[in-house]
Structures are given as C-alpha cells and as structure tokens.
Chains A and B, each alone.
Chain A
Amino acid sequence: MSEFTIQESIELIPEEDFSHKKSVLKRKVEEILGEDQTFYKLANNVLVGEDQKGKVIDAMKDVTTKRSSRDTGISERALEKIPTIISNFSNQVADMKTQRATITFKEIASLYE
C-alpha cells in the first residue's frame, strides 16, 4: 500500500469583505457626537456674550469647555479607532479561515487491494 502525507495551509472558507461594518459603527458614534453638540449648545447659550468674566463665570466656562472637549475627544478617538478594529477583525477572521492541515494521499491501486 502506497501513501504519503503533506502539510499545507488550506482555505476553508473564502475571504469576505467586512468594510461595511465601519460605516455602521461610525454612524452611531456620529449620532453620539451630534447629541453632545446639542447638549453643549444648550450650555453655551446660557452665558450671554463670549467676553463675560468673573470667578463664577470662569469656573462655569472652564468646566463646560473641558467637558465638551473631552466628550468630543472620546467620540473622535472612537471614530479613528473603528477602521483599525474592523481591520483587526477582518484579519483575524481571514487567519481563522485558513488552517494548517495534514493531508494523507493513498495510491489509487492500493485502494482496491
């Protein structure tokens, strides 16, 4: 009986394009960003005029500015990160679909022995 084995990578399932997932996630983060803008628009209208000064006013402005830029920063970071996480996801899925396998071949004649 004649047989031999080889080891090679086999593609179990063809690769797929998952890039549409980026826009699904981005859209939601943009909605969050939009809601933040609605919120800070409400806050920024409270003090009339840009040039008002004073202890209480400065504190109110400071907190609002910090919060606003932090919230924007979080959403922007998420937006920047989305392409990377989708790319990581795609790569890991692609890796998983291609596996190392040991394949054993038998000579046809020997199969009928």
Chain B
Amino acid sequence: MPLDKITKEEIWMRLVNSEYGNNPEKMEETFRTIYLEETGELFEGEVEVFHSSDSNVTRKINSNYDGTALSISSGGEQNLYVISQGTQGMEDWLYNIKGPFAGIAVDQVEAAKGFTDDAITHFNIDTNKSDVISFNHSLGLHNSGMTALTDGTFDEVYGVNGLMLSPYELAQYDVEFAKLVQDEFNLRRITEIQDVPLEDIKKFALDYYGERDVKIHNTVSEDDPLYSISEKFGFITEFSETKIIDTNPNVSGLKEMIDKIPAPVIESLRVLATDYAEGDEKGGFNQSMNQLLGANIESLDEYSISGAIKWYREHPEEVDQTISGLNDNLPRVLENIRLMEENSEVIFDELYKGGYITADQKKVMIEELGNLEKELTNLQEAIQYNVDMHDDDGWFDKIRRGLGDAGLAAVAAILYFKIPNILDRIKESGTLESLEGIVDSHSIPEMLNALAKGNRSYVGKDLVFTSDAGGGDPIKVNMSAAMRLYTQGVTSLEVKQTLITELETLVRDEIEFAYKDEKWKVMREIYNVESSPSSYAHELGQYRFPSYKISSVNVLHEIYPLEQADLDEEIAEMKYSVDTGFSYIENYRKAIEELFKEDEEVSALFDLSRRI
C-alpha cells in the first residue's frame, strides 16, 4: 500500500529535513518528489497541507513550535502525518534548557498536542479509522513523544536524533503522574522532585508509562551530542525503540567519551542549566545571570563608568544587592565549576583523542577553565571580605574610610573584566568552531548518508547517484537537481520566452511606435503652421521685421525613417537560445541516462517527474 511506504526511513527523514525552511505551499510537491525519488513510483493519492502558523490553537500558545501536518489519502485509506521541527535558533535553544533539560517549561509540548488536535479537526480525520503518525527531528521528538505518551496524541512517533523524555518534565506536564510522584516520594511540592535520585524517579516513570500503547522509534547517530548526554541528563531512552547508527566513522563515538566523564560533572551542568532556565523564565538573560550568580549585570555598567568608589557612593543599593546576591549564589556555582575544572583533563583529553579538538585547543580550554575557577574563588573571597565588614559596623562606613574599596573593586573587576576576558580567550581559541563537527552528527543528511545503500547518497535535501561509467573517477550526479532541471528548467525557459516577448513589445512601444507618434505630432504641427502661419507669428520671429507680417510658411518635410534604434539582433539571439534550451535539457537527460545506463530507474524518474 502506498501509505505504508511513507514510514520508510529515507522518506520520512527527508520529509522532516525538507520541512525546515520550506514554503508550506510547496510541501505537497516536496512530498510527491521525495516519494518518487525513494520509491521510483508516482504517488497517485491526495495530499493536503496544514502549517502550524495557520493554526489558531498553536498561535495562542505562542511557543515557537513549528510543524506541518499532511493529510495523505490513497486507496480509500487516509492518515495524518505531523512533522515537528527540532531546535531552530536561540528561542528553541533556550526552550531546550527550560523544557527538556530543566523540566520547567512545557509549552512546546502543549503546542504539539494543540496543533495535532487542530489538524485532526481541520482535515476531518476519523481517528478510529486513520492513523495519526508523527515525524520528528531532535527537540521535535521530545515534544511529540511527551504528548504521545501522556495524552495518546499519536499512534506512532518516529524521530531522527530525537531528544527523549525526562521524568522531571513529565511531572511538570502530566498532573496525574505528578500526584503519584508526590505520594510515592513524600514530596510536599512537586518542585522537590529535583531532590529525588534520578534512578528512582526514572524507574517510577518507566513503571507508570510502560504499558502505554504508543510506539516511539528513534534512529540516532552514535556521534550525536544530544544522544550522548541524554542518559546522563536523566532522559529515559527506554521509552523508545532506539536504533543506533555510526554516522561519522572518522571520529570515535561521542557517547563512549561522555560515559567516561564522571556523573557528578554532568549533574553539575544540569544544576547550572536549571538555575539559568529558572531565571530566564522569570525575566530573560539578565534575570538568568542574576539567578545564576546573584549579580545584576546591568548595574556593572555604572561601575565601569565611575569606578568602584563612585559606584558605591552613587548607587549603594546596587552594590549592596550585587554583594549579597553573589554571597548567596556564588558558592553553588563555584562548587559546580570546580567539579568541572577538576575533571577538565578527562573532558578535553577525550575530545582531543576523539578528533574533535586540537592539542592547542585542549591546552587553552584546560587553562581557561582553571582561570575561571581561580577568578570565581577570588570573587568569593572578595565578597566574603566585604560582607564581613558589613557585619561589623556597616560596610558603607568602612568603604568611606577607604578600607573596603579594594575588596569592592576586586569584585567588580572580576565580574566586569576578568571573567569576560577568559570567555574571550576561549572564543579566540576556535574550540567552539571545532566542536561544530559534533553538531553535524545531529543533522539529518549525515544520518541519511549513513543509511543509504548502493550508489545512493544525499547532499542537503537532495538525492545523489554515483556512476562508474564516466570514464574516470566515480561521478556524483544530484538526481533531485537533474529532475528539477528537467521540470523547472522547462518552466524557466517558458518564462524567458514570455519575457522576451515582453521585451519585444516594449521596444516596439517605446521606440518604434513612439517614433511614429512623434512623426505624427510633427506632421500635425507642420500642417498647423502652414495653414495658419499668423498663429505662429511670434515663434516664427515676425517681431524681427516690425513692418512685415508672415503671409505663408512652407516646411520642407525632412522626415527620415528611424535608424539604429532597435534590439532586433539581441532579441533574435535570445529566441534562438530558448529554442535550443529545450533540446539542451533533453540532451542533459540523455547524458545522465548514459551515465546510468544499467539503471532503468533513472529513465523512469525523468519520465515521472514531469507528472508531479
């Protein structure tokens, strides 16, 4: 059945990949093209598209969720396929921290459910007869998986490099589950779930949701950073049927490396992320930093302008807040950074051995993480000094007496100069760019290439065939592009043909006909002058001869045909180019068929592509 083929890995993964940046109006054509390229057959059924930006439900939630629903029917069957995008841009990255990692926000899960329900209504789908299937990448699988497991929104969920579900976020989203967790672990408030050992809460979640009738399939790269950290961050991979693929044989598996990093280090990252996320949920970046360090970043600008003493004299309340905030928050941050610093040799040595960073970058990262730990320790000591003075007899008096200003200047300088300098040196080392290779392993094309068989491979959103028949090295032909040339190339030539006709008309109107118009105006004027010369007495200079009047005018009629004012030659050449363009496209097809003469599929693809 044609609908069964849609869940073929290459088809749904390419659909998800193509959904990124695709115009919803072109999604039907995209689906039909991918279906043809992957099955060699034309999809004869009906396809309808509904995008999340057109859903009132999704719009109201305002969560940055992005998805496309396709109602696909064939042979009397109709299914709903919902494609959910993964992380795109800063908003989504923040959501990753706030939602899946910290378990504080759930609005994209609500949006995934709301959009699917809206699509069911929009297409009038009978869920008793039709399947509701979800295709996802990365964060998309997390959102769809959450609502599939808790609300039964989907019959089946497919994900590529999908982020799995965290028990902490499940408790945030599923009220029933949260109640049972509170009872089971004697929690007064559900926020205390963060104190329950991960293994205990994970086991409880698995027991609770284990029997749910939903299939979650996750195909992940061995080198995918998200997969690598997911178990350690408490994500429950057991909810899905996970297929692991080595997509980048040039580097050793990232998970293997991350497994060598002690669990407390990973836990320290989770703590920092949760603090950051809680702050961001309350009031954006500055609030996040406030939450993390307890220092109001904006107030430091006053320090940079006026220096430490003036900063205190003019804004004592800001200084007070900064010092007491740091005093409360810094020990926790320092403890976590210290843990990472103590393990920095292991972390960066593994990344170096894995081929992700260079020896120099490893050196810089270890050094700078050490410097960061040192400066945060200095910061804590400086704060302690100020706070001790404050405890004695009010540290405003001490500062006025010149005793506390050194400590305050140290606090401000570390926050304003030293820590940013460390971050700048990390940035300059290029380590972050080197680690971008890890991000490639999170991409869909790398996965598609790892799954591809025979002479097939993928580049971007396109299918590539490789031929050995070119009389040299193997030749890679982008078949998707070849078919686009074969179909859209003809359209482009037709558009050009129209433009040439328009140019021809313009030249005729603006030059040839305009000249005739001007000629007619001149002829009319000659007639007027000749028939009524006295009306033109002034123009003809009668005033020069005061005793005379013009009695007649005879114009010589020197009017020549227009010359050298056309684009005839260029237009003729353009027309010739269009005429030969059609045969150029046919010849291109023949050349590609020649390269793949053993492969009958190529010829069929060209024939069928024009029927999409």
Contacts and interface: CB of A to CB of B under 8 A. Distances in A.
Interface of A: 3-4, 8, 10-13, 18, 21, 24-25, 28-29, 31-32, 35-36, 38-39, 42-43, 45-49, 52-57, 59-60, 63, 67, 70-71, 74-75, 77-78, 81-82, 84-86, 88-89, 92-93, 95-97, 99-109, 111
Given A53-B472, A56-B595, A25 B555 contact: no
Interface stretch (B229-237, B343-351, B584-592): B584-592
Interface in B443-474: 459, 462, 464, 469-473
A74 B470 CA distance: 33
B556 A99 contact: yes
B317 interface: no
Contacts of A59: 591
A92 B565 contact: yes
Contacts of A31: 499
Interface string B563-574: 111110010011
Contact of B591 (A10, A60, A104): A60
Given A10-B539, A46-B482, A81-B570, A56 B550 contact: no
Interface residues of B, number: 78
22 contacts: A12-B525, A13-B522, A13-B525, A28-B503, A32-B496, A39-B581, A42-B485, A43-B485, A47-B476, A47-B478, A48-B464, A53-B472, A56-B594, A60-B588, A81-B567, A85-B567, A95-B560, A101-B554, A102-B554, A104-B550, A105-B542, A108-B548
A57 B595 CA distance: 9
Contacts of B503: 25, 28-29, 32
Interface string B212-225: 00000000000000
A100 B558 contact: yes
Interface string B14-49: 000000000000000000000000000000000000
Nearest to B460: A45
Contact of A54 (B475, B521, B562): B475
B519 A42 contact: no
Interface stretch (B103-111, B295-303, B506-514): B506-514
A77 B475 contact: no
A53 B515 contact: no
Contacts of B595: 56
A43 B554 CA distance: 64
B258 interface: no
Contact of B519 (A25, A32, A75, A96): A96
A104 to B, nearest CB: 5
Contact of A12 (B499, B529, B533, B545): B529
